[in-house]
Amino acid sequence: MSRSSLLITGSALLLGDDVNTDINCSNKYLPGKDVDYVAAHAFEQLNPSIASDFASAGGGILVAGAHFGINSSREQAVHVMRVMNVRAIVAKSFGRQFFRNAINNGMPVFECDTSLIQKGQSLDIDFAAGTLNVDGKLLKTSEPLPHEILAILSLGGLIPFLQKYPDWNFA
Amino acid sequence: MGSTISEKILARHAGKSSVKAGEVVVAEIDFAMVTDTRAANTIKMIGKLGDTQLKFAKNTALVLDHYSPPPTLEAAEIHTAMRSFAIERETKLYDIGDGICHQVLPEGGHLTCGDLVVGTDTHSVTYGAFNALGTGIEGTDVSAVMMSSKLWFRVPETVRIELQGQLQPGVWAKDITLSMLGRFGAEGLNYHAIEYVGSAVSAMDIDDRMTLCNHAAELGAKAAILEPDEKTYAWLRAHGARAPLPTFADADAHYAQRIVIDASSLAPQVARKHEVDDIVSVTDIDRQRIQFALIGTCTNGRLDDIRQAAEVLRGRKLAPGVRMIVTPASRQIYLAALREGLIEILTTAGASFEAAGCGTCVGITNHLVPGDGDTVISTANRNFKGRLNNKNADIWLGSAATVAASALTGFITDPRTVDGGTWRSAA
């Protein structure tokens, strides 16, 4: 297999630091509510319009500060974000388990300083090169995502990946 | 450049001579664990794959510990599904009352020095007490492990914390971990592995070492690992573990931070209500009344903890208006406490015992629901608002000795003031 490439484009929608996705993007405190319901109300305590902004824009790229997904471990948060048409997440840093859950469920994550990104700006991310362009100009470079992670993401997550490469022999 | 313990374990399991922090590796797993909180999704996910062979099932344990006993029909049905799955797919199974995952895995001889162990619970870092790299994962991860025996990891940076000197009598690993939370803050070591070394660690017995590693989860740590010694090998032998592969850091290993702490000067610590990192010395607490005392959980439900409580409460009664629950971390610990007469001592003092499991820690079984305005002192690892099903109650955290001393007086109490300070040393 040739080296995976992964390019994502979308407009920026902003959240702040220390976003706990269990509280803001899962049914932990909404027992019995399904993923669609949570998606319509996700993050509303932090940014009341973000779910409708995503819906009217037809999706986009979530931009957050430090520790996105901190204290969270629910994979459901990633499923909710997919329903919201979140194409990728850019954050200064991620909670450890959230980072795993995102990749395992096919959600690309880009780690860099996000303080200069403004709402509505157009983002182009090349995950294999580790570059982030904002309105056509290079803003940040990050460590390129390793080959293994790119391969998992391009197949939509860890389980589809293993169905194709049961012995992880994809190089 | 040399390697830390985590780097060596990950390199060996990835078939590489060395790895460096930040690198992603695909590593062979030695043992995996799924609790009842993540089993439903895991079983569903594997079910969707059809006849996939689960080559790692024999090295996977399903543990029924959080909903123990199940408080709802839904939870009971998860347990039923887990039992069927364990039989059909030939995994290991630990049923209600057998104990908490992080206790039954080492007790069952499922891990040894140098292992790479994963579990669907953040406190899987506990296995570091045995010189194993233990880390928490989610349902997709463990499904992948059952299918392929491997998982991807980003190699963590390591922080080396040296605990010099000796803990004073009445001061325990719990007090060290609480002071670490005060220093770094909750999640302050996100992504990092911790290596705890030094004379105060060597002096600890295995129970206290497990507390030390377990509580690193609240620091956000990916792993917390100790060097092995004769105590480690003896414990593992006694529990039928595989031959150890002792793993030590190189002298020239690279650490993100090196910290030296004098353990001798540490007083018992407590976490004040709602925040696991709002830490003060118990000596600074003035007349804080409590109504409930809880000893148990994967952090402090071991024999040494129950011994500490019995030492404080032998021949005495709980303060009027105080209710106390003790939850041994496993059936083996329950039995050992029974044989030592500790259950009689504590029950006579007014405490109630609950079957081994996680229930009271997370407020799932409702054995302990505080009323409005009540204060709980607990040996648990978390005290978030509402964790025991009442947002109008407060939860404080401390060692088993501090919890028992507080149950005796009805106020948060320095255990060293009980019995005129006749505490046996931590070893």
Helix (DSSP H) and strand (DSSP E) numbers for chain A? 7, 7
Write out chain B residues lying below 8 Å of A143, CB-based.
22
A59 lies in some domain: yes
* Chain A contact for B41 (CB, 8 A cutoff): yes
Q: Which residue type is seen at B187?
A: E
A106 lies in some domain: yes
- Which of B138, B148, B191 is facing A162, going by the closest CB pair? B148
Residue of A nearest to B51 (CA): A163
Write the DSSP string, B224-266: EEE---HHHHHHHHHTTPPPP------TTB--SEEEEEEGGGP
How near does any CA of chain A get to the CA of B110, in Å? 24
Cβ-defined contact of A159 to B143 (cutoff 8 Å): yes
Write out chain B residues lying below 8 Å of A163, CB-based.
49
> Domains in chain A: how many in total?
1
Whole-angstrom Cα distance, residue B62 to residue B101? 9
Write the DSSP string, B291-304: SEEEE-HHHH-SHH
Q: Reduced to 3 states, what is the DSSP secondary structure of residue B28? A: strand
Whole-angstrom Cα distance, residue A100 to residue B139? 11
Q: What range does the domain containing B143 cover? A: 8-155
Q: How far is CA B423 from CA B173, B245, B308, B311, B324, in A?
A: 15, 36, 9, 9, 22
- Regarding whether B161 and B149 lie in a shared domain, the answer is no
User: Is the separation of the CB atoms in B204 and B173 below 8 Å?
Assistant: yes
Whole-angstrom Cα distance, residue B328 to residue B98? 10
* In B42-187, beta strands by DSSP E: 60-63, 92-94, 116-119, 133-136, 150-154, 158-164
Report the 3 state secondary structure along B164-211.
ECCCCCCCCHHHHHHHHHHHHCCCCCCCCEEEEECHHHHHCCHHHHHH
- Regarding whether B294 and B258 lie in a shared domain, the answer is no
Token output for B378: 């607990």
- Regarding whether B257 and B381 lie in a shared domain, the answer is no
- Which of A95, A105, A167 is facing B148, going by the closest CB pair? A167
Query: What pLDDT score does A3 carry?
Result: 57
How near does any CA of chain A get to the CA of B130, in Å? 23
B1 lies in some domain: no
B51 lies in some domain: yes
Write out chain B residues lying below 8 Å of A149, CB-based.
24, 152
Cβ-defined contact of A104 to B140 (cutoff 8 Å): yes
pLDDT in tens, B136-163: 999 999 999 999 999 999 999 999 999 9
- The percentage of chain A sitting over the pLDDT mark of 70, rounded to a whole number, equals 94
Q: Which residue type is seen at B239?
A: H
> Domains in chain B: how many in total?
3
Cβ-defined contact of A67 to B191 (cutoff 8 Å): no
Confidence class for position A57, pLDDT limits 50, 70, 90? confident
* Chain A contact for B141 (CB, 8 A cutoff): yes
- Which of A95, A149, A166 is facing B190, going by the closest CB pair? A95
Region for B162 from its dihedrals, namely left if φ exceeds 0, alpha if ψ lies in -120 to 50, beta otherwise: beta
> What CATH number corresponds to the domain at position B196?
3.40.1060.10
- Which of B26, B137, B143 is facing A100, going by the closest CB pair? B137
A154 lies in some domain: yes
How near does any CA of chain A get to the CA of B281, in Å? 26
Out of B155, B190, B218, a domain closes at: B155
Q: What range does the domain containing A17 cover? A: 7-164
A55 lies in some domain: yes
* Chain A contact for B72 (CB, 8 A cutoff): no
B426 lies in some domain: no
Token output for B179: 């002071």
User: Is the separation of the CB atoms in A123 and A110 below 8 Å?
Assistant: no
Q: For chain B, list residues with pLDDT below 70.
A: 420-427
Phi/psi of residue B69, nearest 5 degrees: -85, 160
A1 lies in some domain: no
Q: How many CA atoms lie within 13 A of B114 on its CB side?
A: 15
A39 lies in some domain: yes
- Regarding whether B219 and B144 lie in a shared domain, the answer is no
> What CATH number corresponds to the domain at position A114?
3.20.19.10
Instruction: State the complex-level ipTM.
Output: 0.89
- Regarding whether B375 and B278 lie in a shared domain, the answer is yes
A142 lies in some domain: yes
- Regarding whether B80 and B110 lie in a shared domain, the answer is yes
- Regarding whether B53 and B188 lie in a shared domain, the answer is no
B414 lies in some domain: yes
Residue of B nearest to A66 (CA): B190
B230 lies in some domain: yes
Out of B126, B155, B184, a domain closes at: B155
Write out chain B residues lying below 8 Å of A91, CB-based.
none
Q: What is the pTM of this model?
A: 0.94
Write out chain B residues lying below 8 Å of A155, CB-based.
none
- Regarding whether B169 and B138 lie in a shared domain, the answer is no
Residues 309-338 of B with CB under 8 A from A: none
Token output for B125: 């870092």
- Regarding whether B219 and B319 lie in a shared domain, the answer is no
End-to-end CA, chain B: 35
Token output for B51: 């006849």
User: Is the separation of the CB atoms in A33 and A60 below 8 Å?
Assistant: no
Closest CA to B288 of B273, B267, B266: B273
Tell me which of B138, B184, B187, B385 to substitute to probe the interface with A (most A C-beta atoms closer than 10 Å): B138
> What CATH number corresponds to the domain at position B327?
3.30.499.10
* Chain A contact for B138 (CB, 8 A cutoff): yes
A16 lies in some domain: yes
Cβ-defined contact of B26 to A168 (cutoff 8 Å): yes
Whole-angstrom Cα distance, residue B372 to residue A124? 52
- Regarding whether B161 and B136 lie in a shared domain, the answer is no
- Regarding whether B338 and B361 lie in a shared domain, the answer is yes
Q: How far is CA A66 from CA A79, B66, B257, B406, in A?
A: 21, 31, 20, 38
- Regarding whether B233 and B280 lie in a shared domain, the answer is no
CB-based burial label for B203 (10 Å; 0-12, 13-18, 19+): middle
- Which of A99, A105, A148 is facing B140, going by the closest CB pair? A105
User: Is the separation of the CB atoms in B97 and B65 below 8 Å?
Assistant: no
Strand B24-28 versus strand B150-154 pairing type: antiparallel
B400 lies in some domain: yes
